[in-house]
Amino acid sequence: MEVKRTVPVKLDVPDERRDDLHTTIEQFNDAATYTVENGRNDDGHLILNKSKIHDRVYYDLRDRTDLPANLCVRAYSAAVEAMKSTVDDWKAGKSRPLPSFGEPSAIYDKRTLTIKDRSATLATVTGRVEVEYVLGDYQRSYLDDDEYERRMGTLHYREDLDAFYLHIVLLKEVDERDGDRVLGVDLNLKNVAVTSTGTFYDGGELLWGQNHSFRVRRSLQDKGTRSAKQALARLSGRENRFVLDRLHTISRRLVEEARSHDCSYIAVERLTHIRERMDNGNDRIKRQMHTWAFRELQDMIEWKAAEYGIRVEDVNPAFSSQTCSKCGHQSSTNRDSDGWFSCNECGYELDGDYNAAKNIGIRLLTVPEGKRPSGLGDGQLALKSGTLNLSDDHSSAEFRPEGESHGQAHDFSRG
Ligand SMILES: [Zn+2]
C-alpha cells in the first residue's frame, strides 16, 4: 500500500525574493482562473481534457503571465482537476459555482521544485529562488527518512503569520503485512476505545467533558453554523488541541497494540452506524461532536497503521453490544445499564465494551467469502492471551473458541 504524507515546512525566504514568491502565487491563481473562464469548447462545454486545455490556453497563459512553462502547465492542470470535480457534483445534482482560485498557494512538481534535505529551489516569475527550511523534529523525521520519495509540493503564504510554507508531499510504498490476525476495536463514549485484547483506553469523561461540550454548543449558537466539525475547527484553543492530542495518543497506542499482537488487520465499526448508538440521552450537538471525534480517531488509526502495512477494515456493528462474544446469543437484556455484560444464555460475563470489541473483530472474520478483505483467509481474532479461530466454513457463521476443552459450538447465526 502507498503511504502518503504532506509535511508543512516553514521557509526562510530572503527578503529580496519575497515579492517574487508573492507574484508567482498571484499569477498562478490568475492562470488557473483564466483557464476556467476560457476552457470551453466552441459549443460552450467545459474542456476536461488536459491536452485539449493545453491547445486552448497554454500560449495565452505564456503571454499573460511571467510564469515559467511548467508552472503554466501546473496552473491549467489544477484548473482542469477543479472543473472535473465541479462537473461530477453537477452530475450528482448538486449546484455549485465554477471553481475559483483565491487561496494564496501554488502547486509545484518535480520540474518546478527541487526538494533537498534542508532547503528547496522553487521556480518563480523571475528565475529560481533557493530557500532554507525552518524545521521542527516532526518535519526532520520525515525529511531524514530515505524511504520516502519527495514527490511534489504546494507553496503557501500564511497571512496570519506573514510566512511562506512548503507543503511537501512524501510517498512510501509499504508492503501489506502478512498474516490473518485481527484486532477488534470498539469505540464508545465511556472508554473511547477498547480492544479485543482487553486494553481499555479510558478517559471518556475527560475527553467529552461537560465544559468542552458547552464550548462547542456556545460556539455553534454564536456563529450559527450547522456543523460541529466547523465549530471544533474554530475552537483553536486549548480544548480542541487537547481532544486532538488525546486522539493522537490513543490511535498511536492502538496501532502499537496491533503490532505487539502480530495483527495484520484492525476491525472498527462502520461510522454510518455510530449515530444510532449515541441517541440515548445525548443531544444533537453532542452527537455531532462525538461522530466527528470518532471519525478523526479512525482516520488517525488508518493513517498510522498504514506505515506498518496494517489494514483497517470497517464492519457493521449492529447489535455488537447486545450479542454474546462467546455463544452468539443476542438480547437487549444481556447488558445492564452500567455497561456490564452478562449472557442470558451461557452466563458469560465481562465488561460490555470489551465484549463489543470482540464482536467487532468476529464480524470481520465472519464476512462472507467474496466480500472478505484479500489475504484475510480464515482469520483469527487476537485476544488478551492467544487467539480465537473461527470454523473453516465461514458461511455457517459458527465459531469455536480455540483451546476450549468442552468443544462447544457457538452459534452466531442468531447474532
Ligand atoms: Zn453467551
Q: In the structure grid, which three cell numbers stand for residue 83, read together?
A: 472543473
| pTM score | 0.71
Q: How do strand 349-351 and strand 380-382 relate by DSSP bridges?
A: unpaired
Per-residue pLDDT for 8 more than 80?
yes
| Residue closest to 207 by CA, chosen among 223, 226, 188 | 188
pLDDT in tens, 108-164: 999 999 999 999 999 999 999 999 999 999 999 999 999 999 989 999 999 999 999
CA of 43 to the centre of ligand 1 (A): 68
How high is the pLDDT of residue 229? 55
How high is the pLDDT of residue 338? 85
CA of 330 to the centre of ligand 1 (A): 8
The number of C-alpha atoms within 13 Å of 212 and in the hemisphere containing its C-beta is 21
d(CA 353, CA 200): 9
How high is the pLDDT of residue 394? 37
d(CA 327, CA 345): 8
Edge-to-edge strand list for the sheet holding 2-12: 105-108, 149-158, 163-173, 2-12, 127-134, 119-124, 113-115
Residue with the larger pLDDT of the pair 173 and 210? 173
d(CA 86, CA 323): 45
How high is the pLDDT of residue 278? 56
Residues in the chain: 415
pLDDT in tens, 190-207: 778 999 999 998 766 656
Per-residue pLDDT for 230 more than 80?
no
Residue with the larger pLDDT of the pair 374 and 25? 25
pLDDT in tens, 9-21: 999 999 999 999 9
d(CA 183, CA 255): 10
Percent of the chain whose pLDDT exceeds 70: 80
Percent of the chain whose pLDDT exceeds 90: 65
CA of 263 to the centre of ligand 1 (A): 26
CA of 181 to the centre of ligand 1 (A): 23
pLDDT in tens, 234-279: 554 556 677 788 889 999 999 999 999 999 999 999 877 655 555 5
Per-residue pLDDT for 214 more than 70?
no
CA of 338 to the centre of ligand 1 (A): 18
3-state helix, strand, coil in the chain (%, to 5): 40, 25, 35
CA of 153 to the centre of ligand 1 (A): 55
- The residues whose Cβ lies within 5 A of ligand 1, an ion, are 324, 326-327, 329, 343, 345-346, 348
Cell 483467509, residue?
377
CA of 411 to the centre of ligand 1 (A): 10
**Which SS3 state, helix, strand or coil, does residue 383 take?**
coil
Residue with the larger pLDDT of the pair 369 and 415? 369
CA of 335 to the centre of ligand 1 (A): 11
CA of 343 to the centre of ligand 1 (A): 5
Q: In the structure grid, which three cell numbers stand for residue 173, read together?
A: 510504498
Supply the DSSP symbol for 276: G
Phi, psi for residue 353 in degrees, rounded to 5: -75, -35
Q: How do strand 311-315 and strand 265-269 relate by DSSP bridges?
A: parallel
- H helical segments located in 41-193: 50-64, 69-91, 137-143
| Residue closest to 120 by CA, chosen among 148, 163, 152, 73 | 152
Per-residue pLDDT for 401 more than 50?
no
Q: How confident is the model at residue 173 (pLDDT cuts 50, 70, 90)?
A: very high
Q: How confident is the model at residue 177 (pLDDT cuts 50, 70, 90)?
A: very high
